[in-house]
Amino acid sequence: MGKTTNRLAEALESAVAADEAGACERIARLRRDTLAIVDSFFGGGAERVARQIQGNFAELERMARAVAVLRSVPAASRDHFLAHGEIVSSVIAAEALALCGLPAVRVDAREVVITDDRFGHARPDFPEIGRRARHRLASLCDQGRMPIVGGYIGATHQGETTTLGRGGSDYSAAILGAALDASVVEIWTDVDGMMTADPRIVPEARVIERMSSEEASELAYFGARVLHPMTLAPAMEKGIPVRVRNSRRPELAGTEIHPTAPSGASQVRSIACKRGIVTVDVITSRMLMATGFLKTLFEVFARNETSVDMVTTSEISVSVTLDDTSRLPAIRRELEQLAHVDVARDRAMVCLVGQDLKFTPGVAARIFKSVEAINILMISQGASRRNISFVVEEKDVEEAVRKLHREFFG
């Protein structure tokens, strides 16, 4: 069922562009693909399962037609539209597990995962989720039943559908695991665990058997796509370990993440990279000996609800990196009232993560010696004890990661 949310987003984009026929065709294609999976898996029981999900596709079509007329979609309606992928998948998963003889019962995530109304990036109401999880989910477990809850989605206190942001299904698992005081949260994915580098870039990358939550969080934030950046926080606050396993190779142990973990043999535990970065350089002599300028500068990003990844400063300039450029035009207009602004696209960030890198003499020399033939555009070291990051042109990022991996992992 992979990429369903992406396909729904594409259908919605077509509708916003007034391409009603294109949007409806995308939805029809998704319906055909989904029903083909249902037919192949459930056999004679396929019609009963199909009846449970047909209404979702009918609703998607109605919404797409309305959006095509209006040529816009409110944030709340967008979340409601995109949530249908997880709703359908959770129905099919519960029915599939029941067919395998397991006591599965579907629970609508919107009955349990209560959030605020920041549509698209909703924030969980942990106390309320705890109450509802104990009432709705723990009671089913006590009866020997298996609750199946869709990830990524929730609802406001008023019942409006919300989403937790892309990659939010892992986050949902950690939220519910913490709410239920689980002994462990397991993330079953399509890779062997947290690795020393992206195996698509470095085929010889290997699995890290055990690592700290701080290391894993840094890797997730700086581009390692195994985990959603916010996944670990709810579980770690409760001292619950998180295991990352490969559903296609269940015999492997994967990676176990704990609040604390011993350092590995190498100073560097893993190398991550994030593409599609934009650098913004703000240059003005008004910064010299001035107080309050940085506050004014970063208020621009705050007003535009855009987070900054990396920051470097000099006497008359500040450089930042962004991975969310949706509000960049507005940010640039405001910044140009303060200073000269240069924006550069097609950048990538490379991040090396390990325990106490900040206090390890010689590690920076090894890093920059290994990539000396690559132009480094920006460096951040010292802000975190666990990572050293730098920016390169996107075309150079894979070469940089491979050279660094050879240096630190042989």
Residue 367 is assigned to a structural domain of this protein: yes
Query: Pairing state of beta strands 114-115 and 153-156?
Result: parallel
Residue 231 within a domain: no
> Distance between CA 188 and CA 67 in Å, rounded?
36
**Residue 260, CA distances (Å) to 63, 237, 263, 346 in order:** 47, 12, 10, 36
Mean pLDDT of 96-116: 97
Predicted TM-score (pTM) of this structure: 0.82
Dihedral Cα 295, 298, 304, 305, nearest 10 deg: -110
Q: Is the pLDDT of residue 288 over 80?
A: no
- CATH of residue 367: 3.30.2130.10
Q: Residue 110 above 90 pLDDT?
A: yes
| Number of structural domains in the chain | 1
Residue 43 lies inside a defined structural domain of this protein: no
Could you report the per-residue pLDDT of 312-328, keeping only the tens digit for each? 988 888 999 998 888 99
CA distance 158 to 250: 40
Cα dist from 76 to 79, 83, 288, 332, whole Å:
5, 11, 45, 27
The model's pLDDT over 233-285, given as tens digits with 9 standing for 90+, comes to 898 889 999 999 999 999 999 999 988 766 556 678 899 999 999 999 999 87
Beta strands 185-189; 153-156: pairing state = unpaired
Task: Please compute the mean of the pLDDT values over residues 333-354 and round it to a whole number.
Answer: 93
Residue 68 lies in a domain: no
Distance CA(307)–CA(347), nearest Å, equals 17
pLDDT tens sequence across 210-226: 988 888 888 887 766 67
- Indicate whether 394 belongs to any domain: yes
What is the extent of the structural domain holding 316?
270-409
| 278 within a domain of the structure (yes/no) | yes
Residue 340 resides in a domain: yes
Residue 125, domain member (yes or no):
no
What's the burial of 279, exposed, middle or buried (CB within 10 Å: 0-12/13-18/19+)? buried
